[in-house]
Structure 1
């Protein structure tokens, strides 16, 4: 088995050995070839690198490469000075560059060295220094951004960990590159010093030891010195280019290589080569310039510009088409995501003739908008109510069904339209009583008027209702009244998954004390009561807290406690953006009467934690009348009204109202938020009945125990 760690150890030991062990020409030729090959290999890596930190070991590679080149320089210097021979590669490099002139060879070598030292290395060093500083300075901000995205639920915990790892890796890389560029700079300086030592020392050794004439020594050792310098400096220059390309490489989202990025950005605008061709064509007429060469280049750029323009137009057309298709898909996906899939549990059956009279598409669009608002306000994605055409329903009939059982039926008169108004409105249009049908639609009085009066209503600017919208509103309100029953495992699993992504630790802590079925039941109770389940973090944290305080408590008590923790969200949801809420207080005598009835029912063993309040029939009728009046006032004046009752009676009063089809929010005093302005509108009372009936079991000190 190949041990990579032992291979690296062996390589470093071999590099150190090169500095002290004399080598023959053949081994030096092999090592020089390896040095040049490795430099070219690193250049290819730099060109095809997607992200600078993907080559995190590059600073270490620079250090090892620099040590390897210095060891080779020591070995070649020893061979040149001792035997006046540096091997075939060094001799060939020197002979090829010198071309019979020592001066030419020295000038070329100095140019290469100066370019490497003053241009490439100096620039790369500065970029690495600035990159390291920016990476370290921006690290806290990037960490905070990752934490904010995680808290907001935009990313998962696993993705956040990957981002943190990448950030740490980037900062370490640029910090290491800042130091590694000092090795490259030192390598260039060492190359200059070594060539001077080789040249002066070689001439001295040649004259004093080998008995060469001064001219002969200059000829031999200058060729070998320049060859040795080029053999060392060319790989060093390539290494400097690699470092420069890596530290100046900006990471991109497309993970493209450097060549692809450069080419793409050069031809991004087809006008660039066109304008350049005009300038170059003008330069062709400068006296003394090779005219045909400039014209050929100008024509080439002009042809490229026309080609790029054509490609650009085709690409723009394709992008416009793709964008249009993507927008359509996105819109469809957003609608689907915001309202969920059509429900197979709550279905609105409409008769065949009614489906021909109304615009099903408009009805569906209105439903989508209503359900989208519902899901945003409640923090849950509920499925939209389904619409089906029934062949068996009678003419003009609508039947809203829950799990196959009708829960609301309605007849839409044939040949009539819906009008807002009273008898005076009818008289104004000139319609007779026989041509008008009075009805209550969602607790609001409306009139059905014969279609022959549509023109008269429009001319008189009388308010008429859009049938599709009113029907969508009817379906939606019916759906909203049964959200608790419609809250299924699918919605629960979705909420649970989102909560786990936002704060997995809190969810795990909650799971240790409460089972999923119990959590499901608590959330269902909250949904029935109209409590928005957002933010989810607050729901989970509050539920964990109240479960610890009330260890062993049931779902009903925990749901009631949770309402108090979410009073700001609850009151804002009820009051709306105006933050004003009308309050109808329940008379304390009436509360005592209710407690007395509950106490008697408890004594007889007939009390259920989910039953409503128990009154005498005449008192029940009187209360229903008062509550109905409140509901009509809310619908007529479009005011937001809530009933306030003691905490121990809140849930039972809510159930009492729901059974009697009264849909007003019921709050306990501690659930009123200071962020919402409240004003009294009515006292729910039935006189002095039951004022003396106070039961000790339902005292204020026993409020929460009385809930269940």
Structure 2
């Protein structure tokens, strides 16, 4: 029944345009119109952002139609019966006060206020708001995508923010059109009032035989009363429209924000009160009003508690009393400490780190730690971010265990456009730091042009964060320390104590567990499923503690979870295989060394293996595929150790690790038929 109330109400409003209403019903509906308009105005003042009142544009249309229907009904009663109910008559007598000229002047003033001031201003703000909101929509969508890729938000939050961006654009577009209803309503009110005056004068003289003065007095009273009854709700709705379109997003409603922002500082209130008292010195001005106002402002200022903007640096009291002296052994040892992961930025990139200037790089790095942990199972150490004045402008350096691991640039005032059709855009050509794709640093002002040219546009913070993420993934094994392994073991102990008690220290030490986890991370195998990893190690360690054997036992336990990241969205796994005879030769060439299993091959066989794999890999990548090399479990460890040295982007998995649900698609067979040079 609640859902049907609005459609029934709209149909009733349309019927009001053609069906005569009794005066008593018209009084009830006029009261409803005034009260509903006041309610809409109060709601508009209470909301925190325009989208909290998203139904407002449709409500404007319904309210305008309702008010026009009331105008038609009241006009019908005025002209036919000379009486339109108590409400219109009371408004006419009270406002006019016995003078037709006063009533008309007041009506015209109200109309001017609504039409010239409020309606025109609200319409202009709505038009500009719609234009800027639509122009900013692509940038907001890209910012959401960048936050999603950086791990700041998940897919559900991204969908919610995209929906909000779309809803905001639709709202301001609707408000731009709805403001035209308000403007048209103001014009219609003037025309209807003139028609009522002329029509009432004609009906009174022609049909009722009144004298001209009597006809003007009788019908003008009702006409002005009708106009005022309609104009007051229209003025309330116009004011609500202006409040909605001029409302900026904040944490509170309009009243709270007004009091908090106007009363934030005592000095302006004190000066205003003093100025009001000073006006009393002007000869001829009444003293009492300005004395009361000035005294009220001064009392208000004395009771206000001045609040200053939050500043994290405000509390800068010397807290270094407990800090060691700069030349003490403790301070020197602290400076000697090598951080596992550091990010150095040049002086002109500090704005990306400074949150007070809108920089979000630190937040993105924090989100990156969570994302990497969910992907690989490795909780990377805190990334120490610091500026380096010795770095060239726009450059950054990623340090790994005290050694530079990667570097790049991120010029201020630019965005990175990635694509092949960038010749028409001004900027500095470069290469995307992770995949080496052709790119160009273009000015921020040309972002829209770059997008229209088909380029993928990435902001500076996303470039650095993506580069850092790739460095972490490539060096995940080096970032897993002995203390990190201990923490992982303790985490499993809390949920599966028996698994840990059986494994360590009875069968394997922490160092041996660390070596196994290192080997898994080096081949991009996630170690999130530590329970299964530890269970597999417990079984294998009772037979042998050889690292390669432990690793292969773990991989066999994880099974298809290893190949799952390489399965395409359409459930296909692209593979390269070895010729059976060639694979048998490799199996016979497996030897055990101090560093694990290796392939003792002659130069020709190595050349055949490398050439065959690289040729098939390049051909597959040219078609957009990312294949894996599949072989038997007995030769996988040695073959992977060799392939990683020359083709690190080609994963090597065994037949037992192939996904059970994916459709296998072979892209080629590696053969050993290559002449020895």
Q: TM-score range by the shorter chain?
A: 0.5 to 0.7
Partner of 2:411: none
Q: Which runs of 5+ in 1 are unaligned?
A: 341-368, 389-401, 410-474, 495-513, 524-538, 554-594, 616-646, 659-664, 674-696, 704-708
Find the partner of 1:259 among 243, 248, 255: 255
Q: Deviations over 1:604-643 (max 9, x none)?
A: xx99x9634679xxxxxxxxxxxxxxxxxxxxxxxxxxxx
Q: Which runs of 5+ in 2 are unaligned?
A: 320-354, 356-361, 374-399, 406-467, 487-502, 531-554, 602-629, 651-669
Provide the C-alpha distance between the structure 1 equivalents of 2:218 and 2:557, rounded to a whole number of angstroms: 89
Provide the C-alpha distance between the structure 1 equivalents of 2:187 and 2:557, rounded to a whole number of angstroms: 70
Provide the C-alpha distance between the structure 1 equivalents of 2:114 and 2:256, rounded to a whole number of angstroms: 26
* 1:490, distance to aligned residue in structure 2 (A): 8.7
Provide the C-alpha distance between the structure 2 equivalents of 1:43 and 1:259, rounded to a whole number of angstroms: 13
Q: Deviations over 1:468-496 (max 9, x none)?
A: xxxxxxx9x996796237999994269xx
Question: 2:521, 2:527 within 8 Å by CA — same for their partners in 1?
Answer: no
* 1:596, distance to aligned residue in structure 2 (A): 8.8
Provide the C-alpha distance between the structure 1 equivalents of 2:67 and 2:187, rounded to a whole number of angstroms: 13
Find the partner of 1:611 among 583, 586, 597: 597
Q: 1:598 to 1:78 in 2, by over 3 A?
A: closer
Question: 1:613, 1:653 within 8 Å by CA — same for their partners in 2?
Answer: no
1:548 aligns with 2:574: yes
Find the partner of 1:128 among 126, 129, 137: 126
Partner of 1:344: none
Question: 1:92, 1:227 within 8 Å by CA — same for their partners in 2?
Answer: yes
When normalised by structure 1's length, the TM-score is 0.53
1:278 aligns with 2:274: yes
Query: How many residue pairs were aligned?
Result: 449
Find the partner of 1:668 among 645, 652, 660: 645
Find the partner of 1:290 among 286, 290, 294: 286
Q: 1:493 to 1:276 in 2, by over 3 A?
A: farther
Question: 1:284, 1:295 within 8 Å by CA — same for their partners in 2?
Answer: yes
Provide the C-alpha distance between the structure 2 equivalents of 1:515 and 1:234, rounded to a whole number of angstroms: 79
- SS of 1:249's equivalent? coil
Find the partner of 2:307 among 312, 318, 324: 312
Partner of 1:184: 182
- SS of 1:226's equivalent? helix
Partner of 2:388: none
Provide the C-alpha distance between the structure 2 equivalents of 1:200 and 1:335, rounded to a whole number of angstroms: 72
Provide the C-alpha distance between the structure 1 equivalents of 2:37 and 2:556, rounded to a whole number of angstroms: 62
Question: 2:122, 2:179 within 8 Å by CA — same for their partners in 1?
Answer: yes
Partner of 2:559: 518
1:111 aligns with 2:114: no
Provide the C-alpha distance between the structure 2 equivalents of 1:14 and 1:543, rounded to a whole number of angstroms: 54
Provide the C-alpha distance between the structure 1 equivalents of 2:155 and 2:146, rounded to a whole number of angstroms: 12
Q: Deviations over 1:397-426 (max 9, x none)?
A: xxxxx93379999xxxxxxxxxxxxxxxxx
1:4 aligns with 2:3: yes
Q: 1:171 to 1:552 in 2, by over 3 A?
A: farther
Question: 1:653, 1:666 within 8 Å by CA — same for their partners in 2?
Answer: no
* 1:195, distance to aligned residue in structure 2 (A): 1.2
Q: 1:515 to 1:171 in 2, by over 3 A?
A: farther
* 1:10, distance to aligned residue in structure 2 (A): 2.1
Provide the C-alpha distance between the structure 2 equivalents of 1:39 and 1:139, rounded to a whole number of angstroms: 32
Partner of 2:623: none
Partner of 2:605: none
Q: 1:482 to 1:113 in 2, by over 3 A?
A: closer
Partner of 1:484: 519
Partner of 1:404: 505
Find the partner of 2:100 among 97, 102, 127: 102
- SS of 1:548's equivalent? strand
- SS of 1:550's equivalent? strand
Provide the C-alpha distance between the structure 1 equivalents of 2:130 and 2:368, rounded to a whole number of angstroms: 46
Find the partner of 1:68 among 53, 61, 66: 66
* 1:546, distance to aligned residue in structure 2 (A): 10
Q: 1:315 to 1:174 in 2, by over 3 A?
A: closer
Q: RMSD of aligned C-alpha atoms?
A: 5.3
